[in-house]
Amino acid sequence: MKGKIRKSLKASFWDGAFAAGMVGITESYVIPYALALRAQASQIGILASVPNLIMALANSQINKLTRWIGSRKKVVLIVVLIQAIALTFMSFLPMVENRYQIISLIILTSIATTFGGLASAPWGSLMCEYLPLSKRSGYFGWRSRVLGMIIIASSLLAGGVLQYCGRSVLAGFAILFALAATFRLFSWFSLRKMFEPVSATIKVQPAISETNLSPTGTNFNAFLLFTGAMSFGVNLSAPMIHVYMLKTLHYSYLTYTIALVASTSTTYFMMAPWGRHADHAGNLKIIRMGSAFIQLIPFLWLVSGHPVYIVAIQLVSGVAWSGYNLCVSTYIFDSVSQTERVRQTARFNMMNGVCVCLGAGIGTSVMPFLPFLKGTQFMSLLILSGLARMGAVNLLLPKIKEVRKVTHVESMDLFNSVIGLRPLPGVARDTNVDIRLS
């Protein structure tokens, strides 16, 4: 069994490496692709919202799909392959007749987003069977940091390609999405090497919270409500940030890429430290610390649009997003039992997708009616986004309870340890993750 798990973790790492290459190319460049195809603001809103809504609805059925197919691994392989095919077709959009380009992009993005999202629940369930609880946060933090470097490299590559293409930018997008599809296919081949334990032979261990908190009870529902509200608040403004940088501030593709990579770099670089400290202080503590700063980010964007200032904001915000994103994921894994993991992860994805859709749809719809601040209505939208985040943090977050037995640590002491100033006792400064688990 251990030998199969070691091979599966290695295969999972290579799957993640190739998937990270795909993410770096596609995640922040779908809206710029639409802008290059001359999409209108309303079409940007649809592009940012509809794929997430479809993904959310599809995730509500992932547990049934997994039971019907009878294998989590088969589900992952099927949906990842479909995502790769959709990305392939996206590379041919410049050849499509102009009036069909945007609708085709929306449809293909919906397919790629939906089927890519469907992989997360069964994949996460498999990974949790490979990893003991004591190594889970640390491993995912280490893995995310390494894969983050690949995302940064592929994002820089994408920005460089678009900058080089100049007026032939559509050819650049075609090259990038063809490359993304290739990466996803290599990811698919790696996933085929993963081992799926036979459910009947696995001794089901209760989740940390199972003895006192039902995964469908008050605490987990409060967690879903909070994360959904945060996603809603963030996505009120998130889709239009791309438009703001490229169309209002007139950033070049290279400057745009540097601004995005600034946040990505600190996000992934800090995941390993956050992961080690989450095993010590608990996921909820770090979620609280991250969200306390995330609620302030929109107001910082009001100060200036100068590239140096924006990059500085992105660098700092990446630290907060790093801890928040990592610990939201591991909180789910800690809160539910093995048998409930696919279903409850799907519930989270469904809630998140619906709230992303609502935020993006409402944000792009109301922005034309907002007052101008500093020459753009986007500033007013940022204020709304900040207020929505503050509501989630101050009204909903206090209702969530930690499900681990953890050591109490003051927030400032924890932060100083994370950045390496004063390490906490019992928390190693370096992560030496043994993916063999031997």
pLDDT one-digit tens code per residue, 380-405: 999 999 999 999 999 999 999 888 77
CA diameter of the chain: 64
d(CA 282, CA 280): 6
Give pTM, 2 decimals.
0.81
pLDDT at 233 over 90: yes
pLDDT at 216: 45
Q: How confident is the model at residue 311 (pLDDT cuts 50, 70, 90)?
A: very high
What percentage of the chain carries pLDDT values higher than 90? 56
Residue 192 DSSP one-character state: T
Token pair, residue 246, equals: 């490229």
Rounded to a whole number, what is the distance in angstroms from the first to the last CA of the chain? 11
User: Exposed, middle or buried, 226 (CB in 10 Å: 0-12/13-18/19+)?
Assistant: buried
pLDDT at 436 over 50: no
pLDDT at 412 over 90: no
Mean pLDDT (whole number) for 158-185: 95
Domain spans in the chain, listed from the N-terminal domain onward: 2-192+209-418
Residue pair 64/47 in contact (Cβ under 8 Å)? The answer is no
Q: How confident is the model at residue 333 (pLDDT cuts 50, 70, 90)?
A: confident
d(CA 86, CA 421): 46
Supply the mean pLDDT for the chain: 86
Q: Please spell the DSSP secondary structure of 55-83, one letter per residue.
A: HHHHHTTHHHHHHHHT-HHHHHHHHHHHH
pLDDT at 91: 96
pLDDT at 29 over 80: yes
Max mean pLDDT range (32-36, 205-209, 268-272): 32-36
Phi, psi dihedral angles at 234 (to 5 degrees):
-65, -45
Residue pair 289/414 in contact (Cβ under 8 Å)? The answer is yes
Max mean pLDDT range (9-23, 101-115, 408-422): 101-115
Phi, psi dihedral angles at 376 (to 5 degrees):
-150, 145
Q: Which CATH superfamily is domain 2-192+209-418 in?
A: MFS general substrate transporter like domains (1.20.1250.20)
Identify which has the larger pLDDT, 134 or 409. Answer: 409
List the Cα angle 54/57/63 in 5-degree steps: 130
Max mean pLDDT range (186-200, 206-220, 315-329, 394-408): 315-329
d(CA 409, CA 393): 20
pLDDT at 432 over 80: no
Max mean pLDDT range (14-28, 79-93, 335-349): 79-93
Three-class SS of residue 376?
strand
Q: Which of 34-38, 166-170, 272-276 has the lowest mean pLDDT?
A: 272-276
Contacts of 130 (CB under 8 A, 6+ apart): 5, 8, 9, 12, 437
pLDDT at 89: 97
pLDDT at 82: 97
Q: How confident is the model at residue 231 (pLDDT cuts 50, 70, 90)?
A: very high
Three-class SS of residue 203?
coil
List the Cα angle 181/187/193 in 5-degree steps: 150
At position 434, the amino acid (one-letter code) is D
Q: Give per-residue pLDDT as tens, 337-376.
A: 767 777 788 788 889 989 999 999 999 999 999 999 999 9
